[in-house]
Amino acid sequence: MSASVDKLIDGYRRFRAGAFQDSKPLIQELVTQGQRPQICVVACSDSRVEPATLFQTDPGDLFMIRNVANLVPPLEEDGKFHGTSAALEFAVLGLGVKHVIVLGHAHCGGVKAMMNADTDSGEFTFVSQWVSMLAAAHRRVLATMSSASEEQRTRACEQNSVLVSLENLTTFPWVRDRVQSGELTLHGWYVDIATAELMAYNGQNGSFEPVG
């Protein structure tokens, strides 16, 4: 077994002897009564972004959906395989979550792949197609931030990935209906993984503002 996998086994043993024992009553309750999270988080698959660690949550608090660049695709009823849409459907219709948080982050490799699509080596097939849903947002950034630095444009694209997902969420009728009735609230958050700064999107002024 490799050293990297050994680290997981060692961590599991510490979990079983420590945190699991501390949380055992809660875990047993979740087993017998089922999960009932109030919050669904759509986050990036990036190994540096771990929502349960970032928000210091307990088992059962978060229903997680993770993919490249924390994207929610628009509604597509074509009978094909839609993992993110299926997870979202289960969270909203099956579990009745009250909040959906789209969590974007700085230094996102998926967003970078989209921004470099014209110059990449063609290494990716699925990734390139997936992040292409951000292409229109990228064009808007280029058109409105022509004098900005590359770092500023990248940050804008990363934050736009959150906005695209929020917009696409409303293409699902069971999301849109629950938002309109007040049963469900959508949130757009962005975290800088280098500084742990968290920002939330304010729809009234169209900007991301620091939290806390």
DSSP for the chain?
A: --HHHHHHHHHHHHHHHTHHHHHHHHHHHHHHH----SEEEEEE--TT--HHHHTTPPTTSEEEEEEGGG--PPP--SSS--HHHHHHHIIIIIS--SEEEEEEESS-HHHHHHHTTTTS-S--SHHHHHHGGGHHHHHHHHHH-TTS-HHHHHHHHHHHHHHHHHHHHTTSHHHHHHHHHTS-EEEEEEEETTTTEEEEEETTTTEEEE--
**Burial of 40 (C-beta count, 10 Å sphere; 0-12/13-18/19+):** buried
**What average pLDDT does the segment 133-138 reach?**
91
pLDDT of residue 67 exceeding 90: yes
Q: What is the pLDDT of residue 3?
A: 76
- Rounded-to-integer distance, Cα 140 and Cα 160, Å: 10
* Domain ranges, ordered by start, for the chain: 1-34, 35-210
Q: What is the pLDDT of residue 46?
A: 97
**Alpha carbon 203 to its chain's center:** 18
Query: Dihedral angle at the C-alpha atoms of 13, 18, 23, 24, nearest 10 degrees?
Result: 70
- Rounded-to-integer distance, Cα 63 and Cα 53, Å: 14
Mean per-residue pLDDT of the chain: 94
- Rounded-to-integer distance, Cα 160 and Cα 190, Å: 10
pLDDT of residue 12 exceeding 80: yes
pLDDT of residue 30 exceeding 90: yes
pLDDT of residue 119 exceeding 70: no
For residue 62, what are its two tokens? 């978060």
pLDDT of residue 80 exceeding 70: yes
Domain 35-210 has CATH 3.40.50.300: no
For residue 129, what are its two tokens? 């197609």
pLDDT band at 120 (very low <50, low <70, confident <90, very high): low
